[in-house]
Structure 1
Amino acid sequence: MPATAPDPADREPADLILFDLDGTLTDSAPGILAGFDRALTAVGVPLPGDDVRSHVVGPPMIDTFRSLGMTPDQVDRARAAYSEYYEESGWAENRVYDGVVDVLEAVAAAGVPMAVATSKNERVATRILEHFDLARFFGAIAGASDDGARRAKSDVVARALGLMGREPRATADGGTPAVVMVGDRDHDVFGAGHWGIPVALVEWGYGLPAEHAAASWSVPTPQALSDLLATTMVAA
């Protein structure tokens, strides 16, 4: 069973907020799904139904390809086809969710640092955040490495913590204090939970209702997220 964070009521106020990207800050599904379809077509794998497609956005794409039973060669070719499409044009098939900038401005005004922790390629994530003028809010942007070795959510969370000068401490060792993660999928919960970090899942993202049961909080709107963070952050 993946680790999850302890009860947030038992934790000290947060002085660092981590944000997921896809499904949390931006609606990137159109470009990701178009790239996914392009990749499967390139390797001759039939396009799956909505039951599979509903889980595509969020987890590392290489893991999704493997879950479809592809051979190692097919995975490599599918990954190359996806990357070619997404880095050329798919990344721009994207938009910032309404109200997200207000959330980021409120956290910034409170003087609490923020970082991004995403399973998306770090270079592409940086390009997206810069394109939408969101990079200015974050002290670090941590994502998957080019070779895919760093792609698990727990690994990118650890990278974000390190870039922000924090030492990741596993849940078994007491967890990483004074940090909150905001995401939209259960892999955000379990990835941050590995380091003892509580997670707020946003309901405007791609997570299914059952995924929210594992989160410390489930928030329906950006305003609700702002209100929650105001109660969990260190007072300025």
Structure 2
Amino acid sequence: MKSYPVFLFDLDGTISESAPGIVKAVQYGLSFVGIHETDPEKLKTFIGPPLNVQMKKLYHMSDEDIVTAVTHFRELYETKGILDCRPYPGLAPFLKEAVDRGHTLAVASSKPEPFVKEIIAHFGFAPYFSVICGSDIGDELKKRGTRDQKARIIRKALSLLEKKGFSPAFLAAHTVMIGDTFYDIEGARENHLPAIGVSYGYGSREELERAGADAIVSSPKELSSLLLS
């Protein structure tokens, strides 16, 4: 694969193994509208995409019930769940080596931006990232498609990198998106960027292949070999 000076990362399922905190908070939020979900496969689908999209897709919930469930999700997640996560093994040395070699790193996550920044800081990764970009608080309640939202967040991250001095032409030619789901790959495509799928996250290899990922890796070590060799 060609060398890319700029790496754009998803968070959940790419940097952060965040299932425990998110799943508990989703179960808590859904319980307030009479849904007691225990299926691990269904619960896993809430990691990454906006909550409102998944709730509507899985349970055909009313807008009022979505507001109730998301409000209670936040209640638990913001107080107890947000730091119930860990970086994937092998990711820290990869990030450090990438920065030491002169690469510019950024985060583009569908998670609300204050949460993204808190998690990155908790891991001790903040010094590695020139831009940390997430969704606006309240986006979980807006009627916006997941793919559109991811594309918009990637555009926002690119815009912030432009403010750091990178030209649009440089970013278009020298940036690669790294993520674990269809939405990351499609969001990159919407911005005319190549994308690497990571199958160690919450999306399957088949999903990433169908989305048209330019490459798929199964571990942070393999990601490092692909991008830094």
State TM-score, norm by structure 2: 0.88
Structure 2 counterpart of 1:91:
82
Partner of residue 44 from structure 2, selected from 33, 54, 57: 54
- 8 Å CA contact retained: 2:27, 2:36: no
Structure 2 counterpart of 1:17:
7
| Structure 1 unmatched runs, 5+ | 1-8, 170-174, 232-236
Structure 2 counterpart of 1:4:
none
Q: Distance in 2 between matches of 1:82 and 1:65?
A: 12
Partner of residue 162 from structure 1, selected from 133, 146, 159: 159
Tell me the SS of whatever aligns to 1:85. helix
More helix by share: 2
| Displacement of 1:33 | 0.5
Q: Distance in 2 between matches of 1:167 and 1:134?
A: 25
| Displacement of 1:168 | 6.6
- 8 Å CA contact retained: 1:158, 1:168: no
Q: Which has the higher contact order (CA 8 A, sep 6+)?
A: 1
- In the alignment of these two chains, the number of paired residues is 216
Query: What do you get for the CA RMSD once the two structures are aligned?
Result: 2.0
| Structure 2 unmatched runs, 5+ | none
Q: Distance in 2 between matches of 1:164 and 1:116?
A: 11
Q: Distance in 2 between matches of 1:115 and 1:41?
A: 35
Structure 1 counterpart of 2:215:
217
| Displacement of 1:207 | 0.8
| Displacement of 1:96 | 1.1
Structure 2 counterpart of 1:184:
180
Question: Structure 1 runs of 4+ off > 3 angstroms?
Answer: 166-169
Q: Distance in 2 between matches of 1:70 and 1:89?
A: 25
Q: Distance in 1 between matches of 2:3 and 2:156?
A: 22
Structure 1 counterpart of 2:92:
101
| Displacement of 1:167 | 6.8
Letter in 2 for 1:219: V
Structure 2 counterpart of 1:6:
none
| Displacement of 1:45 | 2.1
Q: Distance in 2 between matches of 1:108 and 1:29?
A: 27
Q: Is 2:139 the counterpart of 1:142?
A: no
- Which whole-Å deviations, capped at 9, do the CAs of 1:116-173 have from their partners, x for residues lacking one? 000001001101111111111101111010131687110111111111115779xxxx
